[in-house]
């Protein structure tokens, strides 16, 4: 059902292997979606929620063993193992194909094979990229329809001769022992089996827009990053654009939709993206960012009108919920939502809620919703050229060590700062939660090639332009001796954003340290916030002893990537160590 011979042949070949009962080419229309939703409701895959309070909202319950990304089953399959790097699990392409094709054999018997042409990025943008996902999951189709631009227009783009990434997906039998997420960047190909969940199954997202795209970006001179994009409008109407990289479930969605505290009269945050940014150097030497996605696949627990009012204003309609709890009258519910826990709650597995079974909503429960529904959606979100970045912010979830905010001294130091990000693990991936691990640029699970080459690629931008964004590092998650968060976070993060904007404009004061420049106590706008001077000092403190240890650990981590690590990073290690030593001696 396409004029593109390569695509037609691939679909035919996939059908011959997977043996679906029928093939459906997704056109992206309303009528098609309604029919699909109806079928899923009939099959019990979707549960209709209360249509009065939540029009056009549905709940999906995934298999209980299929609730997050599976990093240990995710592979980058390049001809040369070093190209994938020790940051990725690697398998030789021939072995990977053989292994996964065996699981694909006959896997769609009795099922429909959906062919989803999609576009990542705005229509009419030179930066947008196409893909085609083949899947046997109608849930994936319905989610892809929200997260990407799917259907006829994307197919036309492909038929016009543009290249496309092929993504093959089957839920298989959902057995974790027969689950793999495999990437073949040299073939622009993804193969996924055994999971119906988020980043494992919506192949346009992490698999294409990060792992495959990062590989392409390296050879083509741009960056595919795990970043939100927002615009910060000041009271004069001037908007400054920033992108920020934090690991999964560390608050990207909340920051992207931030509502400033009341005292920040006239300031406004505009949302462009909450998870992925593609950055291209423009003719002016600045980095221009587009959001390749069209929707949000955000974490529900913890979301409320206090933590993220814009999000609550987004997810009340036309939303697919996954693994949330549901109230007796059919409303979605999760831990941290505004309404107190009601009687007769049904948990994420469909059981009557019993605290002995853990939380009512799964900690990685999600909503899928169109970005255009967000009250703070930027009028620049679909600009074909993207938005020009003034700042890039890196951050992690660190209860110790990292101060509230600091600014890298220059681009090279900024790349070091990104490469040294560490964060406590979250429920977004299977495995233990709360362990500190290195997560450079928040890309540990998503960089499709050797991290050392990736850092060199980042560093190379410093030689190409003198007009790059300033780089910052933030940490909203610092705790005191009693284990309490010291910083209120959420809307109050505006105080840090404002300092960042002022630094970009060369206005706010800072104290230069070997780690970077930290705000002076009175250059942070703390109006209306009841924090003691001692707490603010503690939040901004950089302890030379602790940082000497930290830099040693960073150096050890960087060293583990061997000779490919760019000299620029090792230069920064040496500089910081010697400056810290001088400080300790003084
Ligand atoms: O499951 S996803 O990768 O889509 C979400 C996330 O972990 O960031
Ligand atoms: Mn993410």
Residue 110: other Cβ atoms inside 10 A: 10
pLDDT reported for residue 329: 98
Q: State if residue 205 touches ligand 1 by the CB under 6 angstroms criterion.
A: yes
Determine whether the shortest distance from the Cβ of 204 to ligand 1 is under 6 A: no
Whether 586 has a pLDDT exceeding 90, the answer reads no
Minimum-distance ligand to the CA of 295?
A: 1
Please name the residue whose Cα sits nearest to atom 6 of ligand 1.
Answer: 248
pLDDT of residue 256: 98
**435: its two tokens:** 């362990």
**The predicted structure's pLDDT at residue 469:** 98
What phi, psi does 70 have (nearest 5°)? -120, 90
Closest ligand to Cα 430: 1
Query: Above pLDDT 70, what percent of the chain?
Result: 100
Nearest alpha carbon, ligand 1 atom 1: 199
**Burial annotation 379-396 (CB, 10 A radius, 16+ → b, else e):** ebbbeebbbbbbbbbbbb
The mean pLDDT of the chain is 97
- Centre a 10 Å sphere on the Cβ of residue 104 and count the other Cβ atoms it contains: 19
For residues 508-534, give the mean pLDDT.
95
Using one digit for the tens of pLDDT, what is the confidence trace for 324-377?
999 999 999 999 999 999 999 999 999 999 999 999 999 999 999 999 999 999
Q: Coil, strand or helix: which one is 324?
A: coil
> Separation of 413 CA from ligand 2 center, angstroms?
25
Q: Are the CB atoms for 182 and 96 separated by under 8 Å?
A: yes
Query: Residues, the chain, total?
Result: 586
Q: Which residues of 495-525 are buried (b: 16+ CB within 10 A; e: fewer)?
A: bbbbbbbbbbeeebebeebbbbbbbeeebbb
Kindly tell me if the per-residue pLDDT of 44 is higher than 90: yes
Handedness of CA 119, 371, 257, 389 (dihedral sign): positive
Report the pLDDT averaged over residues 426-432.
Answer: 92
Please state whether 513 falls in left (phi above 0), alpha (psi between -120 and 50) or beta: beta
Atom from ligand 1 closest to the CA of residue 366: 5
| Residue from 566, 571, 563 nearest 456 by CA | 566
The answer to whether the CB of 243 falls within 8 A of the CB of 289 is yes
Question: Mind listing the domains of the chain with CATH numbers?
Answer: 5-44+71-221 (3.40.449.10), 225-293+378-585 (3.90.228.20)
Please give the C-alpha separations between residue 199 and each of 196, 275, 288, 298, in angstroms, as whole numbers. Answer: 9, 12, 25, 12
Structure tokens at 368: 């899928």
* Mean pLDDT, range 182-190, rounded to an integer: 98
Q: What is the pLDDT of residues 439-459, one digit of tens each?
A: 999 999 999 999 999 999 999
Q: Report the distance separating Cα 170 and Cα 118, nearest Å.
A: 18
Q: Distance between CA atoms of 37 and 44, rounded to whole angstroms?
A: 10
State yes or no: is 77 an active-site residue: no
* 152-163 pLDDT, tens digit each: 999 999 999 999
CA dist., res. 297 & res. 252, Å (int):
11
Least distant ligand from the CA of 244: 2
Asked whether the CA dihedral 427, 432, 435, 441 is positive or negative, the reply is: negative
- Tell me the C-alpha to C-alpha distance, in Å, between residue 506 and each of 253, 382, 510, 528, 578: 28, 29, 10, 25, 28
Partners of 245 in beta bridges? 227, 394
Q: What is the 3-state secondary structure (H, E, C) of 224-259?
A: EECEEEEEEECCCCCEEEEEEECCCCCCHHHHHCCC
Ligand 1 proximity of 69 Cβ (cutoff 6 Å): yes
HEC states along 169-211? EECCCCCHHHCEEEEEHHHCEEEEECCCCHHHHCCHHHHHHHH
Does any ligand 1 atom lie closer than 6 A to the CB of residue 164?
no
Whether 289 contacts 241, CB under 8 Å = yes
The pLDDT value recorded for residue 360 is 98
The count of other CB atoms within 10 Å of the CB of residue 142 is: 20
Catalytic residue among 57, 77, 107, 250: 250
pLDDT digits (tens, 9 = 90+) for 281-320: 999 999 999 999 999 999 999 999 999 999 999 999 999 9
Q: What pLDDT shows up at residue 1?
A: 85
Tokens of 312: 């609550």
428 lines ligand 1 (CB under 6 A): yes
584 — pLDDT class (breaks 50, 70, 90):
confident
pLDDT band, residue 557 (cuts 50/70/90): very high
Largest CA distance in the chain: 76
Q: How many CB atoms lie within 10 A of CB 45?
A: 18
């Amino acid at each position: 059902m396409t004029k593109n011979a390569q695509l037609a042949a691939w679909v035919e070949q996939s059908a011959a292997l997977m043996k679906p009962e029928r093939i459906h080419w997704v056109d992206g229309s309303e009528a098609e979606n309604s029919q699909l939703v109806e079928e899923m409701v009939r099959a019990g895959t979707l549960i209709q929620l209360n249509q009065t309070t939540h029009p056009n909202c549905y709940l999906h319950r995934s298999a209980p063993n299929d609730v997050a990304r599976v990093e240990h089953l995710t592979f980058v399959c390049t001809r040369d193992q070093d190209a994938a790097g020790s940051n990725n699990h690697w398998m030789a392409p021939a072995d990977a194909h053989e292994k996964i094709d065996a699981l694909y054999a006959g896997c769609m018997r009795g099922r429909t094979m959906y062919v989803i042409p999609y576009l990542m990025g705005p229509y009419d943008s030179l930066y947008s990229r196409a893909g085609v996902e083949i899947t046997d999951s109608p849930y994936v189709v319905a989610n892809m329809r929200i997260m990407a631009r799917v259907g006829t227009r994307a197919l036309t783009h492909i038929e016009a001769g543009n290249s496309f990434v092929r993504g093959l997906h089957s839920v298989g039998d959902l057995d974790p022992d027969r689950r793999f997420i495999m990437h073949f960047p040299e073939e622009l190909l993804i193969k996924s089996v055994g999971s119906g969940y988020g980043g494992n199954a919506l192949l346009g997202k992490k698999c294409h827009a990060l792992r495959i795209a990062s590989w392409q970006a390296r050879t083509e001179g741009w960056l595919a990053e795990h970043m939100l994009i927002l615009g910060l409008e000041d009271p004069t109407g001037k908007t400054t654009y920033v992108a920020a990289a934090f690991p999964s479930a560390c608050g990207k969605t909340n920051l992207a939709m931030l509502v400033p505290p009341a005292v920040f009269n006239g300031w406004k945050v505009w949302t462009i993206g909450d998870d992925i940014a593609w950055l291209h150097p423009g003719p002016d030497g600045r980095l221009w960012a587009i959001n390749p996605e069209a929707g949000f696949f955000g974490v529900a627990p913890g979301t409320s009108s206090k933590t993220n009012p814009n999000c609550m204003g987004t997810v009340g309609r036309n939303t697919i919920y996954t693994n949330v709890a549901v109230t007796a009258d059919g409303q979605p519910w999760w831990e941290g939502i505004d309404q107190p826990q009601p009687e007769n709650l049904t948990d994420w597995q469909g059981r009557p809620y019993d605290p002995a079974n853990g939380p009512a909503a799964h900690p990685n429960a999600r909503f899928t919703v169109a970005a255009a529904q967000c009250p703070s959606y930027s009028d620049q979100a679909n600009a074909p050229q993207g938005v020009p970045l003034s700042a890039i912010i890196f951050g992690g979830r660190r209860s110790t060590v990292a101060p509230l905010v600091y600014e890298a001294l220059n681009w090279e130091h900024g790349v070091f700062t990104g490469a040294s990000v560490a964060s406590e693990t979250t429920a977004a991936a299977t495995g233990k939660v709360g362990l500190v691990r290195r997560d450079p640029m928040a890309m540990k699970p998503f960089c499709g090639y050797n991290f050392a080459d990736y850092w060199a690629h980042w560093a190379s931008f410093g030689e190409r332009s003198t007009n790059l964004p300033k780089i910052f590092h933030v940490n909203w998650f610092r705790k005191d001796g009693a284990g309490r968060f010291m910083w209120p976070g959420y809307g109050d993060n505006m105080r840090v954003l404002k300092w960042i904007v002022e630094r970009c404009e060369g206005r706010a004061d800072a104290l230069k340290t070997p780690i970077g420049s930290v705000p002076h106590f009175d250059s942070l706008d703390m109006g209306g916030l009841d924090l003691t001077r001692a707490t603010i000092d503690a939040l901004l403190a950089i302890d030379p002893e602790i940082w000497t240890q930290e830099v040693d650990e960073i150096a050890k981590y960087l060293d583990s990537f061997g000779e490919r690590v760019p000299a620029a990073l090792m230069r920064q290690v040496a500089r910081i160590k010697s400056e810290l030593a001088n400080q300790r001696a003084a």
